[in-house]
């Protein structure tokens, strides 16, 4: 029996048909999470309501507000602002500033607020006041005339009118 020589071309074609080509996988890239604005997810009474707190204020008639943000790690900087806008030197002021730390939840703990004549230094010149809730994912400006100003962040606001006679 005679052995026939194998040609180089035939051997190369056979090896290519039998062997597979391995292409290494590249790294998987994902876009960073985009900054989303906070939202008011609950307001009781609803934003825009006119509230009557009576002559002395009625704590049981306060406001409950829920805030949420899809960027769960964002802290919320929150201000309850009385009689603003516009800014009036002796009338407009921040009644309750607070910061809610970020975490793992989209929905943050609910806030509760009831205006009070003495604690909130309400103007005694009039009985109807504006209450503004301002919430941002960045700190507020230090400008005393821009009580709801933020830089490089998102801001959500809700406002209510309330009556409260302060003797």
pLDDT digits (tens, 9 = 90+) for 17-69: 555 556 666 677 666 668 888 999 999 999 999 998 876 555 567 899 999 99
Residue pLDDT, tens place only, 88-104:
988 999 998 999 999 99
The predicted structure's pLDDT at residue 29: 67
Average pLDDT over residues 147-162: 92
In this predicted structure, the answer to whether residue 6 has a pLDDT above a threshold of 70 is: no
User: DSSP assignment of 15-56, as one string?
Assistant: HHHHSPPP-PPPPPP-PPPPP---EEEEEESPTT-EEE-TTT
Q: CA 109, CA 66: separation in Å to the nearest integer?
A: 7
Most confident among 9-18, 57-66, 135-144 (mean pLDDT): 135-144
ω into residue 49 within 30 of 0, thus cis? no
Percent of the chain whose pLDDT exceeds 70:
77
* Three-state secondary structure call for residue 140: strand
The predicted structure's pLDDT at residue 135: 96
pTM to 2 decimals?
0.76
Considering the segment(s) 39-143+151-163 as one domain, its CATH architecture is Sandwich (2.60)
Q: CA 80, CA 115: separation in Å to the nearest integer?
A: 9
């Amino acid at each position: 029996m005679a052995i026939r020589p194998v040609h180089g071309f035939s051997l190369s074609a056979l090896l290519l048909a039998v062997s597979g080509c391995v292409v290494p996988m590249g790294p998987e890239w994902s876009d960073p999470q985009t900054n989303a604005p906070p939202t008011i997810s609950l307001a009781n009474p609803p934003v825009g309501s006119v509230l009557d707190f009576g002559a002395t204020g009625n704590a049981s008639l306060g406001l409950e507000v829920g805030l949420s943000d899809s960027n769960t790690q964002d802290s919320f900087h929150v201000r309850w602002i009385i009689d603003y806008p516009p800014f009036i030197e002796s009338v407009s002021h921040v009644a309750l500033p607070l910061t809610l730390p970020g975490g793992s939840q989209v929905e943050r703990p609910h806030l509760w607020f009831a205006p009070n004549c003495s604690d909130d230094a309400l103007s005694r010149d009039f009985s109807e006041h504006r209450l503004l809730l301002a919430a941002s994912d960045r700190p507020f400006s230090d400008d005393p005339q821009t009580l709801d100003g933020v830089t490089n962040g998102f801001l959500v606001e809700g406002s209510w009118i309330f009556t409260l006679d302060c003797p």
